[in-house]
Copies of this chain bind each other. A is one copy, B any other.
Amino acid sequence: MKSKYTTIIDIAKQLNISKSTVSRALTGHPNVKEHTRKAVLELASTMEYQRNSLALGFSKHTTHTIGIMVPEFMSTYFPSVIVGVQDVMQAAGYNVVICQQNESYETEVDNMKLLLSYRVDGIIVSHTKETRNFDHFALAQRRGVPLVFFNRVPEELNVPNVIVNDYEAAFQAVEHLISIGRKRIAHLAGPDALVNSRLRRQGYLDALKKHGIPYNPDLVLSYDLTIEKVKIYMKHFLDLGTPPDALFAINDPTAIAAMEVVKAKGLRIPQDIAIVGFSNDLSAGLVYPGLTTVAQPTGEIGRMAAEMLLQELNAKVKNDYTIKKAPTTQLPTKLIIRESTVAKTK
């Protein structure tokens, strides 16, 4: 079963020279006669020669390809981070392959194995909401494959990462709700296993404390981020004896699902209940009323993660994060105020 691909040996035979010379001509090695190089390049072009990256990566132990693993991409958050990553990596001459885990731990492990088995030079990761075991990441580190995390960063691992200040952003978001006079602020939180979920909740709690609003456990629910559940929890909140007058949601999809429940009940946003989300998904600006939310610099997060990965890749001596503290980059967020908290005056 001969492959249909042209090889350097085919070219060498045709020109009656050695494959070494062909290789040199194609890779731009200086010691090739101009005449020879020209002949090789021409024939390569007419024969539609296409270098075999498998053979190359196999023999050179480096592939000039990086992987990026994201938990999902139905919101605009991860796609726009990926675009940022691609910008930087392509400019640096790297290929980027994308893996999507569907929020499944098993898929994540499989995809990690896939990327390692293809010997990618490095990986940019945001783990799934299910991930509790981080061995597959530790394995990559042991293999000398640098990782950079973003958004969801495991505490169990000392890895370079780029994040936003979730605590501070949540604090501000809740303070904003307080500033518009809300006192019964509910919080739909994410699973405790996610660090940013915990940080956002802490920001919520501390903002309440600062403004002397007692913490009411009835108004806080952690959930697994499966959107269908939002309906249940939100109905529960609205059915309380004294329902909340505001909601701080862990992310925009949650906030938007909650808005639907509120509207279906005939309540007004923001008059009856003000709502704040997190991340500034494209949808946040489209829903009615517009959703107040914490904007994250997604493109910049991707670019920054890529830069950090390049640093790792270019380090003459590999950083050993079993002994050295891994670097963190923290990027700024911005509270975007829309009509879900402040009704338009007109």
Contact = CB atoms under 8 A, between A and B. Distances in A.
A309 interface: no
Contacts of A4: 142-144
A143 B6 CA distance: 9
Interface in A44-66: 48, 50-55, 57-58, 61, 63, 65
A311 to B, nearest CB: 20
Nearest to A64: B114
A82 B54 CA distance: 25
A286 interface: yes
B100 A83 contact: yes
Given A100-B98, A143-B4, A53 B117 contact: yes
Contacts of A286: 256, 283, 286-288
Contact of A50 (B65, B80, B116, B283): B116
Identify which of A57, A102, A113 gathers the most chain B CB atoms within 10 Å of its CB. Answer: A57
Nearest to A288: B288
A99 interface: yes
Contacts of A117: 50-54
A52 B63 CA distance: 12
Contacts of A287: 286-288
Contact of A97 (B48, B90, B98): B98
B54 A118 contact: yes
A119 B289 CA distance: 49
Interface string A250-284: 00000010000000000000000000000000110
A326 interface: no
Interface stretch (A71-79, A148-156, A194-202): A71-79
A134 interface: no
Contacts of A161: none
A341 interface: no
Identical chains in the assembly: 2
A74 B76 contact: yes
Contact of A100 (B53, B82, B95): B82
A3 interface: yes
Nearest to A54: B58
Interface in A119-149: 119, 139, 142-144
Interface string A88-99: 001000011111
A184 to B, nearest CB: 26
Contacts of A5: 119, 143
A1 interface: yes
A83 B97 contact: no
Interface in A277-305: 282-283, 286-289
Given A80-B74, A286-B283, A1 B95 contact: no
A80 B65 CA distance: 25
A99 B100 contact: no
The 5 closest A-B pairs by CB, nearest first: A288-B288, A53-B117, A98-B98, A54-B58, A97-B97
26 contacts: A4-B144, A48-B139, A48-B142, A50-B113, A50-B117, A50-B143, A52-B119, A53-B114, A53-B118, A54-B54, A54-B55, A54-B58, A58-B58, A65-B114, A73-B82, A74-B79, A74-B80, A79-B100, A83-B102, A86-B100, A90-B107, A90-B110, A98-B98, A283-B286, A287-B288, A288-B289
